[in-house]
Structure 1
Amino acid sequence: MKVRAFITAVCVLLFSVDGYSSIIDNGDFQRCDFQGWHKDTDGFGDPGSTGDFSINNNAGDCSAVISVDLLEGATAFNANTLFTALDLTVASGGLQLSFDWNFSGFDDGSLLADSFFVSLSNGTGTLFNANGEHGHLIEATSLYQSGAFSALLDPSFYNQTNWTLDFTVQGGFNPTSVSSKLMIDNVLLTSVTTSVPEPSTLIMLLIAMVGVISQQRFNSNRG
């Protein structure tokens, strides 16, 4: 076994991460409604019964859909945002944020096409990424594709209040910018903790590491 590979394996054993249940209410949308979530259209709040926000119900397996689809009753001129409040209380360990997304539609993908982005917000108008810097969790994109996001939040967020997770679909300004949808599901904010082995286990692992390094040096000297 190469030394680098062995050290990597030891590090995995030394510091393993355990996850606990999600602390986002209805993040998987399995209630098949928007309970625990808030809707905003063009900065004017919940648009009511329109095509801007909907629940995709696939035989009880539900997900949320944010639209700028004028052909199906969406009313947003600028943007639709679906957001939820975050409980960032941390006694120890950290917070892992994850979600699944799918962006689809019939725009042309050009500079002024429909787009979406995902951010953390504290209500000041400034948006942030997982590192606590100005930006987005997912930068604005017009590409129709799907993906899964996962990141450990920077400790600067821990135990702060008034933070939300925002999913925004921005309407485009092309003649063909009439139909795009962002589907989101499995939104999780998970409390994680780092497990450290017992002192005896740690000593044994360190001895093994020293032995492998010594053997590597011995073989090198013989060569």
Structure 2
Amino acid sequence: MDMRKLGLIGGMSWASTAIYYEKINRIVGQRLGGRHSAPIVIDSLDFEPMAAAMGEGDWDFLTETLRASANRLVDAGAESLVICSNTMHKLHARLSEEIAVPILHIGDVTADAMQEAGVHKAALLGTRFTMSEPFMRDRLRSHGIELILPDPERMAEIDRIIFEELVKGEARVESKRTMKTFLTNMEKTGIEAAVLGCTELVMIVNPNSNVVPIFDTTTIHAEAAAEWVLADAA
């Protein structure tokens, strides 16, 4: 089987990186059968200093951290990269100019899935950086998708859940209920769908049991990565 080698820039957080690894390998195994798994190299970063740098607005440190990670993966034979984090896609354009292999953008593949479903407007849920800064909204807008934001109180609570619970691998029942309530209330405002714009949110939001269609960027990104791995397989 001539599969292509994928590199994952992970650890942001380890919990969502594990989801990527499992989903990609399950797709490859289902497609090829037998004991096949995907050729993947992972560079899993320590999220504590990265979270601190985000809080301080030190994006130069974060850029250098991801650049070094990407280069380690390329040196290890990766032919394409996936950044296992929505927030770190703020650095996608800069890294793409400097890294020798393509980096699959989470926003592009999410927009493709939304267009296929006929959805052109949705609520964006994620970290405060992903929700309040334009890098994700602008990317999807370039595909004809409009993203709207929760109110400031909901934004703050979603960000707290992500950074205080989910990145530690904690999926608390009360946070699942909170997100269910948020989505129910947002549905009443007339939104068509919701985008889980944080790779950990799928830990507490079931895309298949909500009042509005849910576009889980983690699953969509992982599925696109698996398709890339399998593109040359025969």
TM-score, length basis structure 1: 0.29
Answer 1 or 2: which has greater strand percent.
1
Answer 1 or 2: which has greater helix percent.
2
TM-score, length basis structure 2: 0.28
Answer 1 or 2: higher relative contact order, Cα 8 Å, separation at least 6: 1
Structure with greater Cα Rg: 1
